[in-house]
Amino acid sequence: MTDYERLSQRLKLMAHPERLRMLDILRRSPECVCHLEALMDRPQPYISQQVRLLHRAGVLRSEKRGQNTFYRVADPEMLAWLDQVLGPVPEEEREIHHLLPDCVCPKCQREEVRLYA
């Protein structure tokens, strides 16, 4: 594959508005599919399809935690592009997990228990 083909494939990934939004979320903190579903207000099959495309392209890395798989942008080149296109993520917004009432992921459930205990 030529550099032009590789670059074109990367640009196509970023040209989709919902994938770009997902990349913005995942560059801030790792999230599971159910959290992305609640955060983006999209159905699970749609989220899974977008995650699969980004994962296959080598942009996302996955980490299994119990029964959930968490995804994160792990490609340094893509992170640099996102910083150029969307601006850098402020330090205070890194690794923040937003609690979502419709999300059943373990991160939200643990935080809810801690908040209300």
Q: What is the CATH number of the domain that holds 44?
A: 1.10.10.10
Domain residues for the domain of 83 are 3-116
CA atoms of 33 and 27, how far apart (whole Å): 15
Distance CA 45, CA 18 (A): 14
Query: What are the pLDDT digits (tens) for 53-112?
Result: 999 999 999 998 878 889 999 999 999 999 999 999 888 777 666 666 666 676 666 554
Give the chain's domain count: 1
Can you give the pTM of this predicted structure? Answer: 0.81
Element (H, E) at 3: helix 3-15
Provide long-range contacts, Cβ within 8 A and 24+ apart, for 53-62.
53/13, 53/19, 54/13, 54/19, 54/22, 54/23, 57/9, 57/10, 57/13, 59/10, 59/13, 59/23, 60/26
